[in-house]
Amino acid sequence: MTISPALRIAFFGSDKFSVTSLRRLYDLHKRNPSLVSSIKVITRSIKPTGRNLKNMIDVPIGEFAQQRGIQTFRSDSSRQTLDILETEKFDLAVAVSYGKLIPGSFLNSMKYGGLNVHPSLLPMYRGSSPIQYALMDDLKETGVSLQTLHPTKFDHGLILSQSQPVSIREDDNFISLSEQLLTSAIEKGLYVDPVKPIQSQSAPSLAPKITPKMAQIDWNKTARQVKRLNDALGPLHVYKEVDITKKKKRVHELQKVIIDDISISQNCHGLQNPGEFLLNPQSKSLIIRTVDGSIAAKKLKPGDVYEETSEKGRSNS
């Protein structure tokens, strides 16, 4: 398909996965402005984060767009997205890890509709967190799908193209795997020259939104399961029972402990029960027993203290 005149693209994104896609698209725009004349980013507003909501941190796509001088629109609702059309005209909408449905009337205003780069072999792992679930499920391979944008449902557009299965390496995590998966879909320019819809051979499954509770470690899991959970979600946590003084009284509470940089340890160092731990001064890591072995964690820091609840147990020790 020949694109004439050059494409004016509305790029919807948020996270580091979408930054990788935008970077490639931006490079294409610079190399071939007769194909892509302009790119404008649409993402959510900057919101306060952290303790006491004192930090104003932009989403990765916003930071990247600012560094490259790409005009950025902020939208937290369908109405705000539609308002952009009052001053801007686009030919194609591209959505990568945007996390929200793009209004149907916005898509209908596009000359070529909308496309989405989704990091799974659809219909496997429909949803917002396909890479995380691929790592948590310890898959050996995954891939990328290019699909049209559906106006009312996530990941229900026509599948236009899919990459060959991509092997998931032992040292892959969410970021490295994202960058690897995008190569075939973006470098071939499938977003501007789609092929006919295809029938995927993958079985349907869901990859719903990741919740904070999913990052809590259960030491009754295997060492590999804990390691892959860290690869998928980043820093994990457990709760440690502590005694603190409040109003001159000793109070039993739970201290959140954040654990990161996890690897599988080849030696249990005599630890017997899941959740038991010791410090290994040679490796400068904490060795923690799992149900079938142990893991080594090189990064730990304390989190918040909570009043003791009935959720405590040996697996949190």
Residue 177's pLDDT is 59
Q: How confident is the model at residue 170 (pLDDT cuts 50, 70, 90)?
A: confident
Residues 55-76: b if buried by 16+ CB within 10 A, e if exposed: eeebbbbbebbeeeebebbebe
Share of the chain above pLDDT 90, in %: 47
Report the length, in residues, of the chain. 317
Phi, psi at 201, each rounded to 5°: -95, -5
Residue 50's pLDDT is 64
Q: If you average pLDDT over every residue of the chain, what do you get?
A: 85
Q: Which two tokens stand for residue 200?
A: 């995927």
Q: Quick one: how far is CA 235 from the chain centroid?
A: 13
What pLDDT digit, counting tens, does each position of 41-89 carry? 999 998 877 666 677 889 999 999 999 999 999 999 999 999 999 999 9
Residue 193's pLDDT is 55
What pLDDT digit, counting tens, does each position of 276-305 carry? 999 998 889 999 999 999 999 999 998 776
Residue 246's pLDDT is 73
Is the pLDDT assigned to residue 127 strictly greater than 80? yes
Q: How confident is the model at residue 145 (pLDDT cuts 50, 70, 90)?
A: confident
The mean pLDDT value for 241-260 works out to 82
Is the pLDDT assigned to residue 25 strictly greater than 60? yes
Is the pLDDT assigned to residue 247 strictly greater than 80? no
Distance between CA atoms of 41 and 14, rounded to whole angstroms? 10
Helix (H) or strand (E) holding 306: strand 294-307
Boundaries of every domain in the chain = 7-188, 212-302
DSSP three-state, residue 50: coil
Share of the chain above pLDDT 70, in %: 85
**Which CATH number does 7-188 carry?**
3.40.50.170
Residue 194's pLDDT is 55
The mean pLDDT value for 240-247 works out to 77
Is the pLDDT assigned to residue 8 strictly greater than 90? yes
Q: How confident is the model at residue 167 (pLDDT cuts 50, 70, 90)?
A: confident
Residue 20's pLDDT is 84
The mean pLDDT value for 249-271 works out to 88
Residue 151's pLDDT is 85
* CATH class for the domain made up of 212-302: alpha beta
Q: How confident is the model at residue 124 (pLDDT cuts 50, 70, 90)?
A: very high
The mean pLDDT value for 220-243 works out to 93
Q: What does 203-236 look like in DSSP terms, one character per residue?
A: PP-B-PPP-GGGGB--TTS-HHHHHHHHHHHSSE
Look at 233 and 189; give whichever has higher pLDDT.
233
Is the pLDDT assigned to residue 226 strictly greater than 70? yes
Q: How confident is the model at residue 188 (pLDDT cuts 50, 70, 90)?
A: low
Is the pLDDT assigned to residue 108 strictly greater than 90? yes
What pLDDT digit, counting tens, does each position of 87-107 carry? 999 999 999 889 899 999 999
Q: What is the amino acid identity at position 243?
A: D
Q: Which residues pair with 5 in a beta bridge?
A: none
Q: Quick one: how far is CA 157 from the chain centroid?
A: 21
Residue 216's pLDDT is 97
Distances from the Cα of 224 to the Cα of 102, 207, 268, 316, angstroms: 38, 20, 14, 18
Pairing mode, strands 236-246 and 249-265: antiparallel
pTM, two decimals, is 0.76
